[in-house]
């Protein structure tokens, strides 16, 4: 993390998700309940002054008390921002398959709504105000990336499973880390699928237009769309 900070990265979002080992196991996470707080402390020690924590509610087996402990525990770590997402069962995911097989049971909608309302009350009482459906921040620390989504802005997804949007074109990257790395090592675009035709040539133009990785502009609109091409404002 210190290397990231030294290269100009000034904000991290840490996927804590839960502070209960049994819920993390149910989510298929590789970390335990102690790892999330430890990661937050390590990020602070590395010099990150702007930190966000991701939490998840509506997890099978999660009680209202579990959720309250998660929010209280996250706030105790003094983050600048919290993202609290309702678990969804997206198509072509393991969770969706388990749901269809009966291995998981989705929380009733009224329970999810109760947890949603509880989140807003708990966060507000602790100085984190809602600025978007699932996101809460202290004054001046709203995530510009999230706001950019709502403005239907341009963004470039680099890592595995990441999604990009250039104009009216969207594309999703390869999901498997090994496949993604192999493709990158071949100097090819790691695109798995496209909507409206994000192509290898589009990615090539993005890479050619990228500046040297000296300093990253903090503006979340890293690239300005110009037809299907991007004019880089931040190295990738």
Weakest-pLDDT range from 21-25, 64-68, 163-167, 202-206: 202-206
232 or 92: which leads in pLDDT = 92
Look at the chain and count its residues: 236
pLDDT at 170 over 60: yes
Per-domain residue ranges for the chain? 2-147, 152-232
* CB distance 84 to 124 below 8 Å: no
Q: List, in sequence order, every residue forming a beta bridge with 137; answer none if it has no partner.
A: 81, 129
187-195 own/partner pairs: CB under 8 Å, 24+ apart: 190/160, 194/169, 194/170, 195/169, 195/170, 195/171
What's the pLDDT band for 208 if we cut at 50, 70, 90? low
Check residue 225 and give its pLDDT.
Answer: 29
Check residue 45 and give its pLDDT.
Answer: 96
pLDDT at 202 over 70: no
* CB distance 82 to 72 below 8 Å: no
Q: List, in sequence order, every residue forming a beta bridge with 69; answer none if it has no partner.
A: none
Q: What is the pTM of this model?
A: 0.74
89 or 198: which leads in pLDDT = 89
Residue recorded with tokens 């499973």: 161
- At a CB cut-off of 8 Å and minimum separation 6, what does 162 contact? 172, 173
Burial class for 14, CB neighbours closer than 10 Å (0-12, 13-18, 19+): buried
Check residue 224 and give its pLDDT.
Answer: 32
% of the chain exceeding 70 in pLDDT: 82
**Cα–Cα distance, 57 to 83 (Å, whole number):** 11
Weakest-pLDDT range from 25-34, 140-149, 164-173, 209-218: 209-218
Closest residue by Cα to residue 154 from 165, 143, 163: 165
* CB distance 48 to 98 below 8 Å: no
pLDDT tens readout for residues 45-90: 999 999 999 999 999 888 889 999 999 999 999 999 999 999 988 8
Closest residue by Cα to residue 42 from 18, 69, 77, 76: 77
What's the pLDDT band for 155 if we cut at 50, 70, 90? confident
Residue recorded with tokens 């991290």: 12
CATH architecture of the domain covering 2-147: 2-Layer Sandwich (3.30)
94: region left, alpha or beta (phi > 0 left; psi from -120 to 50 alpha): alpha
pLDDT tens readout for residues 80-137: 999 999 998 888 788 899 889 988 888 888 889 999 999 999 999 999 999 998 999 9
């Amino acid at each position: 993390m210190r290397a990231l900070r030294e290269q100009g990265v000034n904000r991290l979002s840490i996927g804590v998700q839960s502070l209960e080992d049994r819920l993390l196991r149910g989510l298929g996470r590789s970390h335990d309940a102690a790892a999330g707080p430890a990661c937050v402390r390590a990020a602070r020690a590395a010099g990150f002054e702007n930190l966000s924590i991701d939490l998840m509610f509506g997890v099978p087996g999660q009680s209202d008390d579990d959720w309250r402990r998660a929010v209280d525990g996250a706030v105790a770590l003094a983050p600048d921002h919290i993202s609290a997402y309702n678990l969804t069962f997206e198509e072509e995911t393991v969770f969706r398959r388990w749901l269809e097989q009966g291995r998981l049971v989705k929380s009733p909608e009224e329970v999810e709504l109760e947890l949603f309302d509880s989140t807003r009350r708990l966060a507000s009482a602790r100085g984190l105000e809602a600025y978007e459906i699932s996101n809460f921040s202290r004054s001046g620390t709203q995530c510009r990336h999230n706001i950019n989504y709502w403005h239907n802005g341009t963004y470039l997804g680099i890592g595995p499973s990441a999604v990009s949007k250039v104009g009216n074109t969207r594309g999703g990257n390869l999901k498997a880390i090994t496949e993604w790395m192999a493709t990158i090592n071949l100097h090819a675009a790691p695109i798995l699928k496209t909507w409206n035709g994000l192509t290898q040539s589009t990615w090539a133009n993005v890479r050619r237009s990228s500046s040297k990785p000296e300093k990253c502009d903090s503006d979340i609109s890293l690239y300005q769309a110009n037809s299907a091409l991007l004019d880089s404002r931040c190295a990738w």
